[in-house]
Amino acid sequence: GIQVEQSPPDLILQEGANSTLRCNFSDSVNNLQWFHQNPWGQLINLFYIPSGTKQNGRLSATTVATERYSLLYISSSQTTDSGVYFCAVQPNQAGTALIFGKGTTLSVSS
Amino acid sequence: DTEVTQTPKHLVMGMTNKKSLKCEQHMGHRAMYWYKQKAKKPPELMFVYSYEKLSINESVPSRFSPECPNSSLLNLHLHALQPEDSALYLCASSQDERNEKLFFGSGTQLSVL
Which residues in chain B have Cβ-Cβ distances shorter than 8 Å to A100? 42-43
**Are A102 and B42 inside 8 Å of each other by CB?**
yes
Average pLDDT over residues B94-111: 89
> pLDDT tens for residues A8-45?
999 999 999 999 999 999 999 989 999 999 998 999 99
Which residues in chain B have Cβ-Cβ distances shorter than 8 Å to A103? 42
Taking all residues of chain A, what is their mean pLDDT, rounded to a whole number? 95
Separation of alpha carbons B64 and A98, rounded Å: 21
User: Given this model, what pLDDT does residue B2 score?
Assistant: 64
A75-78, Cβ contacts within 8 angstroms, sequence gap of 24 or more = A75/A18, A76/A16, A76/A17, A76/A18, A77/A13, A77/A14, A77/A15, A77/A16, A77/A17, A77/A18, A77/A19, A77/A106, A77/A108, A78/A15, A78/A108
Q: To the nearest whole angstrom, how far is the Cα of B93 from the nearest Cα of chain A?
A: 12
Smallest CA–CA distance from A10 into chain B, residue: B40
Separation of alpha carbons B16 and B80, rounded Å: 5
**Are A33 and B100 inside 8 Å of each other by CB?**
yes
Separation of alpha carbons A66 and A63, rounded Å: 9
More confident residue, B82 or A97: B82
User: Given this model, what pLDDT does residue A97 score?
Assistant: 81
Which residues of A, range 66-105, sit inside 8 Å of B by Cβ? 86, 88, 90, 95, 97-98, 100-103
> pLDDT tens for residues B11-39?
999 999 999 999 999 999 999 999 999 99
**Are B103 and A45 inside 8 Å of each other by CB?**
yes
